[in-house]
Structure 1
Amino acid sequence: MRLPSPLPAVAGAALALAASSLAAQPAAFVEEIDVSLVDVEVVVTDRQGKPVTGLMRDDFELRYDGKRVAITHFAAIEGGRPLPPAADGAGDAVPAPLASARAGRLNLVIYLDRTYLEPGEIEAVVAALRGFLRRGLRPGDRVMLVTANRSLTIVQPLTSLPELALAQLDELPPSAPRSRAAGDFFALLAAIERQVQGGPDVLARERNSAPQTLKSQIDGFAVETHRELEQTTHQLHRLIPALAGLPGRTAILYVGGTLPADAGQALYKAWRSAFGPGSRYQISRGAGRQDDSQSAFITLGGPVNEIDASALFEAVAARANDFGITLHAVDAGGLRGQGFLASRGHESTRQGGGDALIGAAFGASQRVGNPQILAMMAETTGGVAIKGSRDFHNALDSLAAQLRSYYTLGFPPPSEARAERHRLEVRLKRRHKGLEVRHRRSFRLRDADHQAADRAVTALVLGATDNPLSVELAAAAARPIAGRDDVVRLPLSILVPVASLTFVPDGESGYRAQMSVYLTSGGLAQGATQVQKAVVPVAFAAGELEGALLRTIEYTLELPVPAGSAAVAAAVRDDYRPLTATVVLPLAPPQAGDR
């Protein structure tokens, strides 16, 4: 049974497949939100960081955009196993049903960011991760190993066999090209020190040239460091939506060196301490611009965002919350005491200097590595931040225990809720003072369309497919589009056995079924195009259905895809029962002369 699809519409559902609609972003639907339950994973720990078990629904208070809401679903998981429902003291004889949607297996992504890691730090963290993988995962949990350093590489795809990830850890090279930020930082700081230690005679000769040259170099350093951090956050931004379609709970364990998030600010403060207003060696106002003692980056009206990267990482945390992904963070810079500064500490800092001005300048530099940013990412998403620890083995063992024991609270969102971001707050009641409660601080409502689109993107980028409907994809040779070198038109067929679909009576005349198809293309390197949706109705007369059960439905269309796309992915949902299939069709690279 062939169902051709002339663009732009199929069965009354808009099919936005124009080449101009392609965008490297996840699905964007504007339909009415229909979400029956919002799940909130909650971890409760004592002062020693140990999971607190034995709590019940009535022990928690849940607020949505500041308003208290009833917890209608509740689950307690201890040691990785859901406990059976029990009367929870809430005054009703019937316990809240298990909120089991997120109480399943764990998908753990180990994200090793080598940009700011020293070789010794990498070796120590990898040794701790080996023990964590052996002891921290339960049967059925899955792990993926990703490295980042100027580009994102999936070293080990998602697997339920931790030994495969362990083997890949052993193969990682001990060093990799790293950021030049630390070396440049200390070179500039040393140049400031040389100017000051040279005394009045040196400054009399170079007062109006060297300080200004240094300030220009600091400006360039601040911008370049900010660009590096933009790349770091961009890679996380791209990975998070690709994980959203995985069944169960998903967490990222980010492992990296201390981020130089305010390196530019530290250098500006050192420069102003040496040459700014009120300093011993203030530069003359007669040379150059009158505002030379003030950096444009740190005046109230200046572009502070050029050197303050906090907003970049706040956006990553919010994105993780949107997709229900927890971020845990390991700041491996703590292995050497000062992270970003540790292995490159300037000689004068060890000698103490003796000049209060230099002490203040180097004091400002001690804040170059900003572990608070990693802590913010973790805390905002309900995760754990491990920083400044010299015993990563025990710290990761504590994290493993918290991954296995937690609570899931569920509530139906108010009918007036929309797809914007909403605030969440979970509290323990007074009798539980002194305990720490962790949970994601915000969420977005994601309806069935968004969830199916998430699965299509996950299948495309990670190759994680599930095909209970026995769907097949087939494609003919791509066709060029006049005037476009970046997009081609791909003739595509989606084949679904009739017997895989659910049919319901259609009056007295026959039976009908309906499937929704979600399509995306691209790959890990290119990202995923915006997900496109088509609704495909199927109908048979009363006497035809039995004979059609051995047939296959073929839905055809021409899909615009970016040139060079690695694959096309489809999520196909049976709209009359909660069953979705995901499939991926690799695309052969174009040969010379094809275009």
Structure 2
Amino acid sequence: MISETDEAMKRVRTGVGGHVSRLRRLLWLSFGATFALVSAVVASQREGGRGQSVAVPEFGDRVDVELVIVDVVVTDRARQRVLDVARDEFVLEVDGRQIPIDQFSGPQVSAPDSGHARALAANQAPADLGHLLIFLDLGALDGRTAREFVEQVRSFVLDPSHRGARISVAVFTDMMQLIVTGAEDTLDIEQAFDEVVRVSGRGSLLELERRHIEEQIRSRGNFRFSSGSADSESAREIANQIRQLAEQETRRHRRMVSALTHWTSTFGGIDDRKSLLVASPGFTADPAAYLWDLLDMIDRSGGASGPVRRGSLQSTDLTAASDFERIYRAAQDARVTVYAMTPTASAPVQAGAEHRSLGLSTWTVAPRDSAVADARANLTRLADVTGGQAFVIGPALGEQLQSIAADARGGYSISFLTGPEAGFEPHSIRVRVTRAGLEVRSRASYRRYRATERREEALAAAAAAGLVNGLMNLTIQSGDASSPQDRKSVLSVPLTLRIPLGAISLREDNAQGTYSGMVEARFAVSDSIGDLHLGEPESIAIDIPATDIERAREAFWVHRSTIEVTAGEIRVGALVVDRATGDWATAATSITVP
């Protein structure tokens, strides 16, 4: 008997308009060992579902301890990595209180005797970069800057000394587009960078729009002097243009930060080293601050009093500021080290010769563009709180990128245990060394995860990056796609999830003559444009006749579902949780939907 339930998808990655995907769950449970065994199970269900009355213990968050890992880089005054710091020279503080270091590991390279040799070891030895995430904000970078960044990063990534790096690339314009995930093959990486180059940067168009409004404001200053009129209608029109630009850019900044937050969180379930390169001018909650200040300055000049100031706090989006705090927390919680890369081009000097005068009645020079500095500072802070660095996209970027490899070679790992007493709130971390003259970089906080959060992270990592926990040896198989009659743009893809029964805890019920268990299954889909969708958890009751239990332990329980997606390359992840023991595992498969 087949029953069908439609479930709305939980959207966990934002930035995609018009691509709504959902999981259609077919609650059809069959047993995939032999035909005789399948018949026995179906017969037992027809007789009233024997075994359904067996109480299977519910699994919740177990009381356990968690190992918190802190990646640390130690440098001297010359910014060279120091490779010979002993464990007892580190001091670890959580919430201002010193705690013991439970585990410690040193750099990938050993420390030679001489200082010069130590510098060479940190800068030239092979480096295991782990997972390298590359994110380009093409909605704000101009084409020239984007191409310069891509070529420098391409050379860095393809350096033969950077062994085993797994490369993921995403770009953002008005939405995030995932180019490649976890690529190790040189050809795949080359093709990913080639595709990025083909996506045009829109930063030049944005700058032209800002300059156009600025010229109108400056023209207004000259008009006031020549006519003696304040022209309130003109002021309202300019204010509306500024307001529209501010709202447009604030929404774009929030979408970008939200997409980056979700993408970063996806990698939280990975224990390897993770570095995120963000190429962007940054993000700010007040992108039109300079234009508001300029308009206010002109309207207030030449008189004892002027209109109420329209910039600063009045134009700051406090919700956006809250979003920015979320990315700071998410990156630290996911143990991702961020390297911020901003363009060299700064805003021209506002009183320079390339600008029209503010008007003879304006008694002061134009203000500085505080939004540029604020956006850069916010991105730099993301690097600071995660133990990374801030670089500039320019001719020296290639040399600066080598600093990422040096961090990987020369980094330390210190760990401590934390338990339920820590709760699930953020806690500050501070790492220092007792040796004089040394500086330390590390993340600034941590938070314990609930068991449900960790499992959801693992499911997201399976769907987005193909990274799985193979504890149960789960497998996913897909069937041929078909198009529903009522939805021509959507394709249905049947899935078969095989769960080895030998990995599931089954409880004997002598009265019913069965062995019973309960698992929870959940699917996730990363679609062709990089959007990630999580389905709702589904409970699966397993009942095996006692006479078949030995054969069953060598076979699979089969769970069938259907996903609805658009055409293209997709990846499907599955999570299975044993409700009796709390054990869980994930699986992933890639599917080409024609």
Map of 1:583 onto structure 2: 588
After superposition, residues 58-69 of structure 1 pair within 5 angstroms as: 58-69=88-99
User: What do the CA deviations read for 1:268-313 (whole angstroms, capped 9, x no partner)?
Assistant: 222222213xx325787xxxxxxx4332x545xx46326x954433
2:37 is equivalent to residue 25 of structure 1: no
Which amino acid is the alignment partner of residue 104 of structure 2? F
Q: Deviations over 1:426-463 (max 9, x none)?
A: 2223x33x433222222221255533332221222234
2:334 matches 1:323: yes
Corresponding residue number in structure 2 for 1:280: 302
- Paired AA for residue 453 in structure 1: E
Q: What is the Cα deviation at residue 479 of structure 1?
A: 13
CA contact (8 A) 2:213 2:242 kept: yes
- Partners of 1:151 and 1:43 in 2: CA distance: 34
In the alignment, which of 183, 186, 190 is matched to residue 208 of structure 2? 183
Match 1:305 to one of 317, 320, 329 = 317
Match of 1:570 among 571, 574, 589: 574
Shift of 1:521: 2.8
CA contact (8 A) 1:326 1:383 kept: yes
- Does residue 386 (structure 1) correspond to residue 391 (structure 2)? The answer is yes
Moved more, 350-359 or 187-196: 350-359
Shift of 1:486: 13
User: Does structure 1 conserve the Cα–Cα contact (< 8 Å) formed by 2:279 and 2:340?
Assistant: yes
Code of the residue aligned with 1:459 in structure 2: it is A
Runs of at least 5 residues in structure 1 that lack an aligned partner in the other structure: 8-16, 84-102, 285-291, 590-595
Out of 178, 184, 193, the residue aligned to residue 154 of structure 1 is 178
- Residues 1:519 and 2:531 aligned together: no
**Structure 2 residue matching 1:244: 3-state secondary structure:** helix
- Residue 240 to residue 366, structure 1, CA distance change in 2 (3 Å): closer
CA distance 1:298–1:117, shift in 2 (3 Å): closer
Letter of the structure 1 residue corresponding to residue 10 of structure 2 = A
Give the C-alpha shift of residue 513 in structure 1. 10
2:441 to 438, 441, 453: 438
Q: Is the 8 A contact 1:382 1:438 kept in 2?
A: yes
| Cα separation, 2, equivalents of 1:56 and 1:518 | 46
**Residues paired across the two proteins, number:** 527
Per the TM alignment, residue 330 of structure 1 is displaced from its structure 2 partner at its CA by: 0.7
Distance 1:488 1:571, change over 3 A: same
Q: In 1, are the aligned partners of 2:282 and 2:375 still within 8 Å (CA)? A: yes
- For residue 578 of structure 1, report the CA deviation from its aligned partner: 7.7
Q: How big is the shift at 1:68?
A: 2.4
CA distance in 2, matches of 1:128, 1:135: 11
Deviations 1:183-231 (A, max 9, x none): 22222222222222345333x2343332333223222222121112112
- Name the SS of the counterpart of 1:42 in structure 2: strand
CA RMSD between the two structures: 4.6
Other-structure match for 1:216: 240
Structure 2: unaligned runs, 5 residues or longer: 14-58, 113-126
CA distance, structure 1, for counterparts of residue 111 and residue 561 of structure 2: 46
Q: Mark the CA change 1:73 to 1:135 in structure 2 (over 3 Å): closer, same or farther.
A: same
CA gap of 1:577–1:367, structure 2 versus 1, over 3 A, is closer
- 1:140 counterpart = 2:164: yes
Contact kept, 8 Å, 1:123 with 1:174, in 2: the verdict is no
Call closer, same or farther: CA 1:528–1:30 in 2, change over 3 Å. Answer: farther
Amino acid at match of 2:90: F
| Native 8 Å contact 1:321 1:381 kept in 2 | yes
Alignment of structure 1 residues 82-481 onto 2, 5 Å: 106-135=130-159, 138-162=162-186, 164-173=188-197, 176-179=200-203, 180-198=205-223, 200-202=225-227, 204-257=228-281, 259=283, 262-276=286-300, 279-280=301-302, 292-295=307-310, 298=312, 302=314, 304-305=316-317, 309-331=320-342, 333-334=343-344, 336=345, 338=346, 341=347, 348-349=353-354, 357=362, 360-364=365-369, 367=372, 370-387=375-392, 390-429=395-434, 431-432=435-436, 434-465=437-468, 467=470, 469-473=472-476
> Are the structure 2 counterparts of residues 409 and 214 from structure 1 closer, same or farther at C-alpha, using a change threshold of 3 Å?
same
- Provide the residue aligned with 1:89 in structure 2: none
Q: Quick one: which amino acid aligns to residue 145 of structure 2?
A: E
C-alpha offsets along residues 250-282 of structure 1, whole Å, 9 cap, x if unaligned? 221111235565431122222222213xx3257
Relative to 1, partners in 2 of residues 1:193 and 1:165: Cα closer, same or farther, differing over 3 Å? same
Preserved contact between residue 77 and residue 405 of structure 1 (Cα < 8 Å)? yes
Give, in angstroms, the shift of residue 516 of structure 1. Answer: 5.3
Task: Tell me by how many angstroms 1:107 deviates.
Answer: 0.6
1:53 is aligned, of 55, 77, 83, to 83
Q: Sequence identity of aligned pairs in percent?
A: 20
Amino acid at match of 1:305: D
1:280 partner letter = G
Maintained 8 Å contact 1:502/1:577: no
Q: Is the 8 A contact 2:179 2:192 kept in 1?
A: yes
Question: Deviation digits for residues 36-62 of structure 1, max 9, x if unmatched?
Answer: 311111122223332221112222222
Aligned amino acid, residue 302 of structure 2: R
The 1:144/1:567 distance shift into structure 2, 3 A limit, reads closer
- Equivalent-residue separation in structure 1 for 2:225 and 2:287 (angstroms): 28
Query: What displacement does 1:468 show?
Result: 6.4
Change (3 A) 1:217 1:69: same
